[in-house]
Amino acid sequence: MRTFLHVSDIGDIEKALAEAAEVKKNPFAWQHLGRNKTIILIFFNSSLRTRLSSQKAAMNLGMNAIVLNVNGDSWKLETEMGVVMDGDKPEHLREAIPVIGSYCDIIGVRSFAQFENREFDYNETILNQFIRYSGKPVISLESATVHPCQAFADLITIEEHKAAPRPKVVLTWAPHPRALPQAVPNSFAEWMNAADVDFVITHPKGYELAPQFAGNARVEYDQMRAFEGADFIYAKNWSSYTEYGKILSTDRSWTVGKRQMDVTNNAYFMHCLPVRRNMIVTDEVIDSPRSIVIPEAANRVVSAQVVMKRMLEGLQN
């Protein structure tokens, strides 16, 4: 495994879930793989879960983990090619990336969508430079369009909690005061479309996800109808893809509350966190026994560890 961006990178999903279960049961069983290996985790943006769970996963595997905050620790990085660098950015990604690559065995990169240019973001321009120039396996720790470690952890969590063999899973948009990237819903949709679930997306008009992520998922604009009989509710805000980066609605009737949960099949509530309480979801729902946001976050160690383990296995050859 050389890159981890898309569900296709993980190969057979059932096999990946079985491996996740094994890793969760015996987290320290593969430390021979990580001996004298180093992962560098690069953050262009804030992070709590990703930062901590990636370090934990690396340590479980016996690896060294080095964390780099690009803006606090290091030099501001120029990302455009061909420019005269006479401004406030003293280093170019074109040098920084192969240098970082020369100091480690695996690279993880957090680099959010910048919302200046949809094509720049949707080409995963930053992450693809890491893939092209580092010479090392690269993990997206949430990049411009995807958050695969999260989506894999979500799938593991659904697998652990599902009662029916093919549960109904609903991804619902919810309001938020700031314009957020589509990375989490994109990856969640991509992974649910690949998994054995009945998947529905619900959001106000104008919030359609990019077609390559929405795939053939059923889209339902009536949130209450979408929630009927659901086994899992996955709430998340995102900004518009079509009117790129715009906030088209702040309709608080989409805030997930008891009213909506009552029409589900006693659904579990999920969210990737951080979550704005009483905007995305009411205190009542997120504090209820059906809220599984904490076990979901805990599974971030498991998903990261499976990915790193496979990359380490690839390095053995």
Stretch that binds a copy of itself, among 9-17, 50-58, 202-210, 217-225 (CB under 8 A): 50-58
- The one among 92, 161, 162, 290 contacting a copy of itself by CB under 8 A: 92
Q: CA torsion 284→285→288→294, rounded to 10°?
A: -120
Q: How far apart are CA 145 and CA 160, in angstroms?
A: 27
Which CA distances in Å does 256 have to 14, 99, 253? Answer: 31, 46, 8
In terms of Cβ atoms closer than 10 Å to its own Cβ (0-12, 13-18, 19+), residue 216 is exposed
CB of 176 to a copy of itself, least distance (A): 9
Q: Which residues contact 203 (CB under 8 A, 6 or more apart)?
A: 172, 173, 219, 221
Tokens of residue 152, six digits: 């894999």
CB of 103 to a copy of itself, least distance (A): 5
Instruction: Return the number of the residue (56 or 310) whose C-beta is nearest a copy of itself.
Output: 56
Binding mask 263-282 for a copy of itself (x = CB under 8 A): ----------xxxxxxx---
Could you say which residues in the range 104-143 bind a copy of itself, by CB under 8 A? 104
Instruction: Name the amino acid, one letter, at 315.
Output: L
Stretch that binds a copy of itself, among 181-189, 199-207, 240-248, 297-305 (CB under 8 A): 297-305
Asked if residue 86 binds a copy of itself (CB under 8 A), the reply is: yes
Stretch that binds a copy of itself, among 18-26, 116-124, 259-267, 293-301 (CB under 8 A): 293-301
The gap from C-alpha 306 to its chain's centroid, in whole angstroms, comes to 15
Stretch that binds a copy of itself, among 58-66, 118-126, 194-202, 210-218 (CB under 8 A): 58-66
Alpha helices in the chain (DSSP H): 13-25, 31-34, 49-60, 70-73, 93-102, 118-122, 125-133, 148-161, 183-194, 211-214, 223-227, 258-261, 283-286, 293-316
- The one among 60, 111, 125, 186 contacting a copy of itself by CB under 8 A: 60
Please give the residue ranges that form the binding site for a copy of itself (CB under 8 A).
27-28, 36, 38, 40, 43, 46-49, 51-53, 55-56, 59-60, 64, 66, 68-69, 72-75, 78, 81-87, 90-92, 94-96, 98-100, 102-104, 177, 273-279, 283, 286-287, 293-295, 297-298, 301
